[in-house]
Homo-oligomer: A and B are copies of this chain.
């Protein structure tokens, strides 16, 4: 098994054919020793965080499969803390697609003059480019088209797909009394078929979830979500 790429929180191994293996690690992003899923640097190692993220990811990808959402997911092995996925090509140098149900985080910091913190949003989609050095700036439909990263039609397709997917995830969390405030997805093109598919992971580290007025940290979220 050949190591293709060492990521911040996952390593990627080639499996031959059109599949790769993602090995989830216990390294988490953060700054000054505090876990912050939005941060760009790896701040610390927390035992079990890789398995926790994988467990959530497996659950949601399998749920989305029943909804016929196209994704890279093939199978997951919780003991090996790894996931087999179809190989995908990112858009440009990588995009993050954010779906917002409540105004918090960077959205509130930018538009606080126009809304209250925590105000409801109608599954509002924003796209950012993955660029640590430049602080992952947001990017518009017109700019993505101008830079030949996404056509206008692809942008609209991605936006609708994101709203659909995040609606399912929000509903699923709600069955456990949890409220999804916002979530970050990644998409790519299937290397074989060129179809747009959901990639990366779907875990506590990619979403902000509340229980009533209480923010639920990623690691606590997994326990809360899977408790009987």
Residues of A at under 8 Å CB distance from B? 92-93, 109-115, 121-122, 124-126, 129, 131, 133-134, 137-143, 146-147, 149, 159
Oligomer: number of copies: 2
Chief secondary structure at chain A's binding surface = mixed
Check A140 against B113 for contact (C-beta < 8 Å): no
Check B111 against A143 for contact (C-beta < 8 Å): yes
Check A137 against B149 for contact (C-beta < 8 Å): no
Check A139 against B111 for contact (C-beta < 8 Å): yes
Which single member of B92, B115, B125, B142 contacts A142 (CB below 8 Å)?
B125
A131 nearest CB neighbor, chain B only: B113
Check B93 against A147 for contact (C-beta < 8 Å): no
Given known contacts A137-B110, A138-B140, A141-B141, is B115 in contact with A147 (CB within 8 Å)?
yes
Check A134 against B149 for contact (C-beta < 8 Å): no
- Complex CA distance for A109 and B134, rounded to whole angstroms: 7
> Contacts of A146 on B, CB cut-off 8 Å?
121-122, 124
Check B93 against A114 for contact (C-beta < 8 Å): yes
A28 vs chain B, min Cβ distance (A): 25
Could you list 18 A-B pairs, sorted by A, with CB under 8 Å?
Answer: A93-B114, A110-B139, A111-B134, A111-B139, A113-B131, A114-B147, A121-B146, A124-B142, A124-B143, A124-B146, A125-B142, A126-B140, A126-B142, A138-B138, A138-B140, A140-B140, A140-B141, A141-B141
